Amino acid sequence: MTYKKQGKGTHLTLEDRRDIQHGLDEGLSRAQIARQIGKSPSTVSKEIKLHRQFKLTSAYGRNPGSYCVHKGSKPLCRRCNIECEDYLERVCERREHYGVCNKCPRNSNCHLDKYFYRASKAHEEYLYTLRDSREGVNLNSTQMISIAMTIGPLLNRGQSVYQILRNHPEITVTAKTLYTYIESGVFKDYGIDSFSLRRKVGMKPRKRLKERRHPACYDGHRYEDYLEFTGDNPAVCTTEMDTVYNDPEGPYIQTFIFQNTAFMIGVLHSKKTSESMAGTLDYMEDVLGADYGKLFSLLLTDRGPEFQKINLFEVNQETGVFRTNIFYCDPQQASQKPHVENNHVYVRDIIPNGRRLDELSQDDLNEAFSHINSTPRESLKGKTPTEVFDFFYGSELREKLNIRTVDKDEVTLQPYLIRNLH
């Protein structure tokens, strides 16, 4: 059976809706109605479900047990209460089949809730929705106020539109639509405009420098060696390492991101040397003990001078025990460690360029990364790095790294999170 092909933008007319109501009154199936009006059965089904009217049946004077599938089968049914753990409302097969109760012969005696499809009411709802959508805003006043009251405080905390929608499924518009509403001024009366949105960071293309000769110390530790190592050891998880700072004189933030979880931590340093940076691994060995290898057995970093002394990172200098495999990206190829580079955007939201970091403490840094790791990521299918890290390693290991879980609506990605920044 074929149906009349509907062109893009084809809408049901009032006459089509009257035919649908007439078909339901006559007890026709949705497929039969579809053939009569030249539409697909799915179009008819969607129309009925979208525009049917709900009618709550009055229960005045009736025993709630009359609605239960167990009516009369249990000793206490005469004193039935809908709070009964065995209470289960009866289902009308006809209502479930047709989706409505139009012209049902049992309507007058039926004690169940009902649905009715009325063509005039359905067409009125359709025209209202169409008018609003063509004006660009398919929200009523109540919905608009509710959305504004939800997103306003969270945007002020630096949260992204994706993050807000992920944490508040009651907001049913898409991220693209919400961006459009905000940028077009729909919520301007509530103090929300395009300046409220989390800043978009653009990176200028780096100038290509003349290729320099690789120091001999990188033999066996280049990016091509990294690819070979991970190919032979696919179960070993990579940790990317980098450095962030606002002043060449320091202080410096050594950042780590665990690729498999997008979980990120930062360690504060007063010196930008291999001895200072490798000291972080010494500290992690002491704190994590046997769990050290789960997080730091494979490092990928750039060729900065602070990471140059390979032996300091790979071998514990006190015990002489090998602890970490370290590899280096090719010169001027930051894209080879994209996770840590991309996540620096979150760091810069809280610690922007130009701010002095002299009074920044490790506790401040731990708090900043707690908020960053409590931000849901689209790459993690809406989960936060903290949730994924806890799934793989457990919350106890996370707590050893001094990272806490932040409530979704308390997440702040703004400089005022850390009061000591000047």
Q: What is the pLDDT of residues 172-187, one digit of tens each?
A: 888 888 888 887 777 7
Q: Counting every residue, how long is the chain?
A: 422
> Which residues pair with residue 116 across a beta bridge?
53
Cα separation, 133 vs 112, in Å, equals: 35
Q: What is the pLDDT of residues 10-34, one digit of tens each?
A: 688 989 999 999 999 988 988 999 9
Cα separation, 59 vs 281, in Å, equals: 70
Q: What is the pLDDT of residue 366?
A: 95
Q: Which amino acid is at 343?
A: N
Cα separation, 392 vs 260, in Å, equals: 9
Residue matched to tokens 């010494």:
282
Q: How remote is the C-alpha of 366 from its chain's centroid? A: 22
pLDDT < 50 stretches in the chain: 1-9, 59-61, 82, 134, 200-206, 209, 211, 213-214, 216, 422
Torsions phi, psi of 241, nearest 5?
Answer: -130, 140
Q: What is the pLDDT of residues 267-286, one digit of tens each?
A: 999 999 999 999 999 999 99
By C-alpha distance, which of 195, 116, 111, 112 is closest to 152?
195
Q: Which two tokens stand for residue 303?
A: 């060729």
For the domain spanning 217-417, the CATH number is: 3.30.420.10
